[in-house]
């Protein structure tokens, strides 16, 4: 059973989530989500821009799991940010997912219209349509600007985090801790780009687990909510089998030291 993290709105989020970015819409996403639910994940992370919300919803319904037992996160696309467009975009996501409410709705990016969008998210939260609300790719200045004006603070900030992008994000992680904001770690496997790193390989050999499991375990022990993605049923199960071992302080410190400011996608440091 996946442990849960307490959120600042009184809810609890399963600490391991399954990411579906870049998994093609249709059968590929349905098969991946089905395999993830089979492997024990109870948390799926999608977004309007991933174009696979409908498949996530279908796979969850087809699983036969009791309604409400799988945490579903989706995100407001940049093209829909703004006071007049955000609500319609949310309703379209809800309809594609086939749900009455989502567990977590995020601003996907600190877009220039983020403050007006956040007002809409606060309304959706008050109406119970978005049970928790949060942000993604927000760095310190984005968080501070939002927190100064928000009525409801974000429950979550989803940012890229791995040992290779850790010290570089320390200020953001600290600000989240100060604000009681849970941190979700996206691209926790560096999209596969650093799985051949020798420190990771050495620690994996020491603990008798795989390199991907070491990266996910590092994230869990930091208190983050890692969101690994895979389309391969074996690797989907492997990435969920991370609760029967632990990294010691020396291993954690060796991983922390790998920071090189690696961003594998868009870098929010460029966003004013």
The single residue among 86, 188, 242, 247 that binds ligand NDP, judged by CB under 6 A, is 188
Which of 45, 53, 55, 197 lies at the binding interface for ligand NDP (CB under 6 A)? 45
Residue among 133, 229, 247, 251 that touches ligand NDP (CB under 6 A): 229
Give yes or no for residue 31 binding ligand NDP (CB under 6 A). Answer: no
- Indicate which single residue of 2, 29, 172, 190 sits in contact with ligand NDP (rule: CB under 6 A): 190
Strands (DSSP E) contained in the chain are 4-6, 12-14, 18-19, 43-45, 71-76, 102-107, 130-136, 156-160, 182-186, 225-226
Residue 105 designated active-site: no
Cβ within 8 Å of residue 262, ≥6 positions away:
162, 164, 165, 190, 193, 194
Residues between 168 and 187 that touch ligand NDP (CB under 6 A):
186-187
- Torsion sign, CA atoms 152, 267, 44, 99: positive
User: Which residue number places its CB atom closest to ligand NDP?
Assistant: 19
Site string for ligand NDP, 108-137 (x = CB under 6 A): x---------------------------xx
Residue 203 DSSP code? H
List the one residue out of 180, 189, 250 whose CA is nearest residue 214: 189
Residue showing tokens 């821009």: 49
**10 vs 134, which CB is nearer to ligand NDP?**
134
Q: At what angle do helices 114-126 and 86-97 cross, to 10 degrees?
A: 50
Q: Does 26 bind ligand NDP (CB under 6 A)?
A: no
Is 228 a residue that touches ligand NDP (CB under 6 A)?
Answer: yes
**Binding interface with ligand NDP (CB under 6 A):** 19-22, 45, 108, 136-137, 158, 186-192, 195, 210, 212, 227-232, 235, 238-239, 265
């Amino acid at each position: 059973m996946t442990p849960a993290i307490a959120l600042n709105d009184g809810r609890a989020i399963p600490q391991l989530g399954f990411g579906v970015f870049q998994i093609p819409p249709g059968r590929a996403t349905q098969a991946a989500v089905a395999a993830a639910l089979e492997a024990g994940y109870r948390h799926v992370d999608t977004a309007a821009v991933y174009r696979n919300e409908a498949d996530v919803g279908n796979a969850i319904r087809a699983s036969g799991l009791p309604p409400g037992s799988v945490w579903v996160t989706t995100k407001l696309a940049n093209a829909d940010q703004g006071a007049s467009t955000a609500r319609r975009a949310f309703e379209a996501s809800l309809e594609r997912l086939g749900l009455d409410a989502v567990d977590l709705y995020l601003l996907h990016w600190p877009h220039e219209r983020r403050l007006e969008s956040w007002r809409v998210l606060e309304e959706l939260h008050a109406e119970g349509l978005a049970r928790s609300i949060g942000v993604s790719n927000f760095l310190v200045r984005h968080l501070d600007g939002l927190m100064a004006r928000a009525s409801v603070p974000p429950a979550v900030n989803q940012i890229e985090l791995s040992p290779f992008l850790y010290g570089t994000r320390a200020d953001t992680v600290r600000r989240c801790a100060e604000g009681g904001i849970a941190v979700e770690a996206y691209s926790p496997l560096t999209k596969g780009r650093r799985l051949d790193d020798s420190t990771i390989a050495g620690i994996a050999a020491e603990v008798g687990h795989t390199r991907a499991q070491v990266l996910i375990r590092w994230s869990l022990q930091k208190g983050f909510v890692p969101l690994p993605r895979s389309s391969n049923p074996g690797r989907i199960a492997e990435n969920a089998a991370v609760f029967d071992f632990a990294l010691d302080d020396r291993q954690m410190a060796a991983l922390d030291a790998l920071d090189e400011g690696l961003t594998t996608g868009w870098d929010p440091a460029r966003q004013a």
